[in-house]
Structures are given as C-alpha cells and as structure tokens.
Structure 1
C-alpha cells in the first residue's frame, strides 16, 4: 500500500481526497489543524493535528515518518490560506499569514519528506489559476494569487533539482471549485466544479500524472478564471 501525505484535510478538497485514498486502500497521513471524526475513525488514515504556518510543528511529521512509515510515495500540498482585501488595506502581516501556509509550509514539509521520497514518488502542489501568468485575476487577492505563483516556480525548481533521484514535482492550477473557502471569500458565487469532483481528479493525477509530467503546471479549469 502506498503512503500518501495530504495537507488541509479538515474540509473541502483535502477532506474528500483523504477519504478517497483511504477507501481505495492507501495509507494516508492527514495534516490539518482540525480533524473531522470521519478521518480520525478511518483505519487507513493517520491524523496529525498540525498548524502548517508554524514550522516547529512539522517536527511531528518528521517524528512520524522516522518511526512509522519510513517512506513516502506522494505528497499533496493542498492546504491554503486566503485573504480577500483591497490592496491598500493589506499589511505585511496579511502577506505573511498567507505565505506561511501557501509557500513556506510547502517548502518546509517537502524538505522534511525528501529523505523518505523514493524513485517514482510524486509531489503535487495545488496552486490556482490566479497564480498563472496571463490568467484572469480577481481584485483583492494580491497576497493569495502571488503566493500561488510562488509555489509554481518552487515546484519547477525542485523538479530540476531532484530529477536524477526520480522524484517528480507537478502543479495543478485550479479554477473555481465549490468549497467552504470559496464561499467565505466570495459569498454567493457558484463554482462549476464540486469539491468531490476535483478531489477525484487530483486523486487520479497523483497516482498516474508523474508518468507523463515533471516540473509542469497543468491548468485545471472549466472557466476563464
């Protein structure tokens, strides 16, 4: 059974992915601040309550890997933080809070996992169409979209740095998905894709996408944004 790490599993896409992998027989390490009971009770899911914005808390992950799993087959960097404010109202603390989750946590968790990733492992980072150059941008998302652009470049760099070890790094730049985070940021907006549907797409891509792609950014959006 493969070992899959998923961040941001308290709700939305991350929650649905954790259940899909676990129900298919994979071992899942779920990382988020809050843990839904359905994940806690699942025999194939190990839950670690972690605040990804606090680097020191990632020691829990390193301890788990060194004592329990010994290897990691895939990481899905799904956790995200979003601040929706006019640019003139944004302060450094807003940028820092978003970047700690969307960029720094991706880098820190990947660094911890590198010794446990084997040839054929796949690291998938969930970005956004808002982080893709030339795509339509939403006003108010300067911190969020710029952070999603940063992890695209990070993933491209890591793909080059670890290609000789056979570790693949890819990015999925998602369009609008109907999640709690979207509803909180844009009340009343209805996305064309559900969290379950997107979770299924990411599930399949994580298992097979590295056969065809490495260091790539795939735009996954049925709408212009």
Structure 2
C-alpha cells in the first residue's frame, strides 16, 4: 500500500487517477481547488481544497503530512492551467497566472513534500508535448507550452539533486487526451485516448517507472496535437 499525492483531482486524468489508486488499496491525498463530490467519502481518499498557485494554501498539505501520513511514496503533479490567447494580447498577469499553477505550484508542493519523501519515492510531473523542444507548437499556447517546458527542466534538476537519497523524478509529456482542457485548447478535436486510459498508464508508471527511469522525459503521445 502506497501513499500517493495527486493534484488536479476535480476532473479529467487526476480524478481518474485518484479513483484507480484508491480502488487498488493505496492511500490518496487528492488536492484541487474544487473538491469532486465523487471522491468525497471514497475509501482511501482524503480530499483537501487547495489552490496550488497560492503558497499559503499549501500549508494544509504540510500539516496533513506532519500529523497523519509521516511519509510519502509518490507525488503526481497533474494540475494544470491553460490559456489560449495570442501572445501579443496576453497580459503579464495572465502569463504569470499560468506559471503560478504549472511551475511555481509544482516547485512549492515538491519543496513541502521533500522531507517526507524517502528512498524509493517517485515524483511524476505531467507535462505536455508542447513543452518538448523541437515538437510541433500551436499558436495561442505560449504561456502554457513554455510553462510545461519549464517543469521538464526543473524535474531533471531535482533528479540530480535528490539522486543520493534515492528519490526519482520523471516527466510524462502527454499528447492529446480527451479532457475538458483539451476541448478548451482545440474545440471540436476528438483525441484517440480517454482520461481513464491515460490514467491507467500513469498509474502503472508511478508505481514502477522509477525502477527504470530517473531524470527522464517520456513522450506519451500517439497523435498530433
């Protein structure tokens, strides 16, 4: 039985992951701004209403870990914010708000979790093919895609810093998955993979991927976008 922290659990892939881990007997700390009513009351799931873009709200996570869990086996940085807007029309505040969730939220939550991670722990960051250098880029996603590139480099650096402790950091750069966020970015586009199907892959990778990878970026994409 593992203790797994998952962000962005109110919908999509994060929601499916929380259910899969809980049904498999693992303990889940589900973090999201809006708590899914489906997850409330589920065995093995603890829900916290946390906006990861606000550092002061992440104190709740530290309090829970200190008083209840004491250690963490895996963290899945799944929460993300997307803005579809031409760069020239994007304000500095809008650009910063994307980074507050997609980059600073990942960094701040990881910093909180570090004292509770141990040898064999696995931190998985969900990035995007848009953050991969040299991949096809799409107009209007400058803030989103650049932020997803930033967390790739952050994860590589953390893997180096924590390798002596036996803590693995890896990134999954996802292609198109049929979620609400995809529908916002590409209205009318139908992805070949459902949120549940992608959650199956991430579930297995979180539990086993650190046996084979550390500091790596795996491109999980069968289509473009």
Query: TM-score range with shorter-chain normalisation?
Result: over 0.9
Deviations 1:165-196 (A, max 9, x none): 00000000000000011112222111111000
- 2:6 pairs with 1:6: yes
Match of 2:111 in 1: 111
Report the Cα distance in structure 2 between the residues aligned to 1:71 and 1:38, rounded to whole angstroms: 26
Q: Which runs of 5+ in 1 are unaligned?
A: none
Aligned length: 225
Q: Secondary structure at the match of 2:5?
A: strand
User: What SS is found at the alignment partner of 1:79?
Assistant: coil
Cα separation, 2, equivalents of 1:220 and 1:178: 14
TM-score (norm 1): 0.99
The CA deviation at 1:91 is 1.1
Give the secondary-structure state (helix, strand or coil) at the position aligned to 1:206.
helix
Q: Per-residue deviation at 1:129?
A: 0.2
RMSD across aligned positions (CA): 0.6
Query: Matches of 1:156 and 1:224 in 2, distance apart?
Result: 25
State the partner residue of 2:94: 94
Residues 1:146 and 2:150 aligned together: no
Counterparts in 2 of 1:152-171, with a 5 A limit? 152-171=152-171
Where does residue 30 of structure 2 map in the other structure? Answer: 30
Which residue of structure 2 lines up, in the alignment, with residue 126 of structure 1? Answer: 126
**Deviant stretches of 4+, over 3 Å:** none
